Structure 1
Amino acid sequence: MAERLTRITTALAVLAVAAVAAVISYQHAYELVSSHGESGITARLVPFTMDGLIWAASMVILDASRSGRHVPGLAKWSLGVGIVATVGANVAHGMNHGIVGALVSAWPAVALVGSFELLMMLTRRVASTDPQERENPARDEIGSALVHVGTIGTIVAQSTEEAILADYVASLNGPGRPLSQRFLAEKHGVDRRKVRQIVSAISPRQLA
């Protein structure tokens, strides 16, 4: 319960930081694009393509990681380009205020990228600890095989006991003497003590 609560609060914190950073980063990129010749719907959509590319590439990388597939090179390249674009746009937005202004302006973009990656790490961790996700097919096959072998062994053991019991009871009802425990042990390939246990467990009702 405590671990689940920790994961939930961590995810909420990461999402909150990502949301705030996304809004500020978008505003910086929008102002930069608007001041360099773009206007209207174009100026408003261009910033989305930067952060959207990071999100899309991160999702592809996450999916490949969770399914055990090789991460596509295009996803890595797109993630790198998206990070450079959004950080570069924020840096350029603050350059008019010197180095410090550029660093301050770039921080939301850095926080946004970091939040994306933290969210991906958290998602991978949750998936790896999920009972359905961490099932090992090979281990399940081995477990099924062991259960199958154990079941066969139980059936064989029961059949052997039943055969010994049937032979002994039949000899009691026959014209000759009852079969000896030694004979039954040698016939069925078991220990004489096992035969003694089986024979001694016969109830009067079974003999009737």
Structure 2
Amino acid sequence: MVERLIRITTALAVLAVAAVAAVISYQHAYELVSSHGESGITARLVPFTMDGLIWAASMVILDASRGGRHVPGLAKWSLGVGIVATVGANVAHGMNHGIVGALVSAWPAVALVGSFELLMMLTRSAAASTNPYDQGEPPSVVIGSGLTQGGTIGTTTAQSTEDMILADYVASLNGPGKPLSQRFLADRHGVDRRKVKQIISTVAPPQPG
């Protein structure tokens, strides 16, 4: 409960900082674009393309990392270009006031980019805490069910090819028809027949009724 509360309040704080920084950064970029020949709808939309590119690239990177896939090079390149563009626009906006003015003007853009990345980190950590695979807990694999030697229906779980072969063979001993052949098990699991023979040799043959 405490951990969830910490995560929620942190996310709210990050979102609040991001919202304030986005408004100020947009205003700086809008004034810069307006003072360099653009007007109307164009001047109002250009700033959105900078921060929007950062957001879109961050989402692609987040999706790839959560899915365990390779991050596309275009996403990395777009994120870098978007950061350079929005920080550069804010720096240029404050250059008329000297170095200090440029640094002050650039701060909202830096805060916005940092907020994006913090939000991505929170999302990753939240997904990891709810996914047992990310916590080193390997799943059990249900590989078949059938009549056990005691006459009851049971389900076999395993994590290796050897266990699955053994479970399939044991389940077939008391089933209808003949037990599964070594050739069938070898073809089904993609192993050598000698390996199958070695595995099932540990099982006692079925007793005649």
Alpha-carbon distance between aligned partners in 2 of 1:56 and 1:47, rounded to the nearest angstrom: 14
Output the amino acid matched with 1:58. S
> Which residue pairs with 2:94 in the alignment?
94
Work out which of the residue numbers 132, 144, 156 in structure 1 matches 2:157: 144
Question: In the TM superposition, what is the alpha-carbon distance from 1:136 to its structure 2 partner?
Answer: 6.6
In the alignment, which residue of structure 1 is the partner of 2:69?
69
Q: Which residue of 1 aligns with 2:35?
A: 35
Q: TM-score, length-normalised on structure 1? A: 0.67
Please give the alpha-carbon distance, in whole angstroms, between the structure 2 residues aligned to 1:133 and 1:113.
30
8 Å CA contact 1:90, 1:109 repeated in 2: yes
- Structure 1: unaligned runs, 5 residues or longer: 156-188, 190-208
- Verify the 8 A CA contact 2:133 2:139 in the aligned structure 1: no
Identify, as 1 or 2, the structure richer in helix: 1
Q: What is the Cα deviation at residue 133 of structure 1?
A: 6.2
TM-score under structure 2 normalisation? Answer: 0.67
- CA displacement 1:121-144 (0-9 Å, x = unmatched): 110010011146647795322893
Residue pairs, 1:1-208, within 5 angstroms: 1-131=1-131, 134=134, 138-141=138-141, 144-145=157-158
Larger Rg: 1
Could you tell me which amino acid in structure 1 is paired with residue 85 of structure 2?
A
**Structure 2: segments with no counterpart, 5+ residues:** 143-155, 171-203, 205-209
CA distance in 2, matches of 1:30, 1:24: 10
Query: In 2, Cα distance between the equivalents of 1:42 and 1:101?
Result: 26
In 2: Cα distance, 1:135 partner to 1:98 partner: 51
Q: Is the 8 A contact 2:15 2:115 kept in 1?
A: yes
Give the AA of the match of 1:65. S
Whole-Å separation in 2 of the counterparts to 1:37 and 1:67 = 44
Q: Report if the CA contact (8 A) 1:127-1:133 is conserved.
A: no
Give the match's secondary structure for 1:144. Answer: strand
Between the aligned partners of 1:14 and 1:31, the Cα distance in structure 2 is: 26
Runs of 4+ in 1 over 2 A off after TM superposition: 131-144
Amino acid aligned to 1:29: A
Q: C-alpha distance in 2, partners of 1:10/1:107?
A: 21
Residue identity (%): 81
The answer on whether the counterparts of 2:128 and 2:135 sit within 8 Å (CA) in structure 1 is no
Cα offsets for 1:15-59 (capped at 9, x unmatched):
000000000000000000000000000000000000000000000
Q: Deviations over 1:54-82 (max 9, x none)?
A: 00000000000000000000000000000
